[in-house]
């Protein structure tokens, strides 16, 4: 029967643990980047004069925070950072990206009515109903096969001895 060198075995397991931790952090960051890029493909660009923001503002604002965490548990956030640029007296939509993704009713915060310009025409309204125009959810769903492949590859490299 072969003797086991306990010190070498423990050292090897600790090294593997470190490589798996680094790989997990790398996977979280890379996965968030894949979701960002795929979601940008689904984000509507709008048209000049028919949006409170310049065309492409939403797409350009999809950003990644992280990864953060440790001990093999990492998280990264992906999402839009843009706010509505509507200069009307009713105030701005604080999260332009959320209303685009989920839809909803936009109501004034400060005045009695919303005020906005569409194709050069000034308008007011008590509220505006926006239908959902998902871009983050389909981006995430389309990213999953690539992320699974990425995770499998990174973990295999970590097990083999390098990240």
Place of tokens 């007011």: 124
Domain ranges of the chain: 6-155
Q: 3-class DSSP state for residue 37?
A: helix
pLDDT at 45: 81
pTM, whole model, 2 decimals?
0.81
User: What is the mean pLDDT for each group of 10 consecutive residues in the chain (163 residues)?
Assistant: 89 94 96 96 80 78 92 92 58 69 86 83 90 95 97 96 65
Is 7:149 a contact under the CB 8 Å cutoff? Answer: no
pLDDT at 111: 83
pLDDT at 90: 46
pLDDT at 154: 96
Integer-rounded Cα Rg, in Å, for the chain is: 23
pLDDT at 157: 96
- Which DSSP state fits 69? E
């Amino acid at each position: 029967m072969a003797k086991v060198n306990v010190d070498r075995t423990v050292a090897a397991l600790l090294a593997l643990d470190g490589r798996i931790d680094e790989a997990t952090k790398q996977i979280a960051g890379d996965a968030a980047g894949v979701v960002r890029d795929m979601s940008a493909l689904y984000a509507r660009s709008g048209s000049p004069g028919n949006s409170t923001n310049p065309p492409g503002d939403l797409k350009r604002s999809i950003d990644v925070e992280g990864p953060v965490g440790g001990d093999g548990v990492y998280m990264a956030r992906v999402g839009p950072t843009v706010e509505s640029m509507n200069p009307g007296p009713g105030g701005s939509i604080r999260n332009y990206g959320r209303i685009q993704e989920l839809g909803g009713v936009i109501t004034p915060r400060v005045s009695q009515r919303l005020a906005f310009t569409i194709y050069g025409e000034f308008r007011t309204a008590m509220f505006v109903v926006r239908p959902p125009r998902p871009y983050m959810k389909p981006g995430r769903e389309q990213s999953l096969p690539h992320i699974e492949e990425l995770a499998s590859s990174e973990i295999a490299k970590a097990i083999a001895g390098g990240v």
